[in-house]
Amino acid sequence: MKIIIIDDEARTRKSIADLLKFSPQNVTLVAEAENVATGVTAITTHKPDLVLLDINMPDGTGFDLLKKLNDINFKIIFITAYEEYAVRAFEFSAIDYLLKPVDPKKLFDAINKAHHLVEQENISLKLNALFANLKNSASENKKLVLKTAENIYIVNTNDIIRCESDAGYTQFYFLNGKKILVSRNLKEYEEMLDGYGFYRIHQSHLINLKYIDHYSKIEGGDIVMKDNSYLPVSRRKKESFLKLLDMI
């Protein structure tokens, strides 16, 4: 795997270069670059398999660099010191990132993940979702990338009615009746969607609060959603959920 490091900080480049010598994967550092201009040259010259790309550089951003390329036929791991909202934008967009200072284990895990991707996924779709999320950082409506075995979907979080755990997978239910099953567990999406109007009412159910139709008090209580689904509220969640309803 041919790797290029693009970062304006010489110390960061050296630190990563030193770590790559101990990578479990067979990697070769073919070039380093310190800004957008030299980064574009390094990529077009060396045609890497993977680029470790800084976001903030003196002559622009890592995003500016990518927009200057005709084709993005390599994998990307962003290196960032961004604050939390931006980090969550990466998570929504399913794009790998590393926080500065770079943790060796996380670096090796990210490289290993990139190494085992059989082919380059549609990075343009993911980048479009990332740009939208960063641009609209204050909005509750985010672009969420959902990957299945066959497709990559870009969905609006406002269109999600609920998510349901399915043996380690997560089933998404949408306003238009569409369903998407992804191979990530519900806990991951609970954490990702925290603060965006979602609430986990049960071990198996994460709901979008804006699509609650009503709460039924009969036989212990179920939540009826706008898609006419009846969902149980766990005993330990019931009290906090009822308090939450009072605040909506």
The two tokens of residue 234 are: 């766990």
pLDDT confidence of 19, banded at 50, 70, 90? very high
5-14, 54-63, 121-130, 134-143 — most confident range: 5-14
Say yes or no to pLDDT of 221 above 90.
no
Residues 93 and 181 in one domain: no
Residue where a domain stops, chosen among 135, 165, 199: 135
Phi, psi of 55 (to 5 degrees): -95, -55
Q: What is the pLDDT of residue 98?
A: 92
**CA distances (Å), 63 to each of 57, 66, 109, 223, in order?**
10, 5, 23, 43
Q: What is the pLDDT of residues 113-123, one digit of tens each?
A: 888 765 556 77
User: Model-level pTM greater than 0.75?
Assistant: yes
Residues 74 and 177 in one domain: no
- Residue 241 in any domain: the answer is yes
Domain range enclosing 224: 149-247
Axis crossing angle, helix 104-116 with helix 10-20, rounded to the nearest 10: 60
- Residue 188 in any domain: the answer is yes
Mean pLDDT of the chain: 90
Residue where a domain stops, chosen among 135, 161, 179: 135
Q: What is the pLDDT of residues 34-92, one digit of tens each?
A: 999 999 999 999 999 999 999 989 999 999 999 999 888 899 999 988 766 678 888 89
- Residue 52 in any domain: the answer is yes
Residues 108 and 12 in one domain: yes
- Which residue is it, tokens 């979008």? 208
What's CA 91's distance to the chain center, in Å? 2
CATH number of the domain that residue 100 is part of: 3.40.50.2300
Total domains, the chain: 2
- Continuous H helices in 21-159: 36-46, 62-67, 84-92, 104-116, 123-135
pLDDT confidence of 219, banded at 50, 70, 90? low
Q: What is the pLDDT of residue 102?
A: 93
Residues 7 and 115 in one domain: yes
Residues 73 and 162 in one domain: no
Phi, psi of 40 (to 5 degrees): -60, -45
pLDDT confidence of 13, banded at 50, 70, 90? very high
Q: How far apart are CA 97 and CA 204, in angstroms?
A: 29
Looking at the chain, the whole-number percentage of residues with pLDDT higher than 70 is 95
CATH number of the domain that residue 213 is part of: 2.40.50.1020
- Angle (nearest 5°) at CA 29 between 24 and 34: 130
- Residue 112 in any domain: the answer is yes
Give the other-Cβ count within 10 Å of 67's Cβ.
Answer: 13
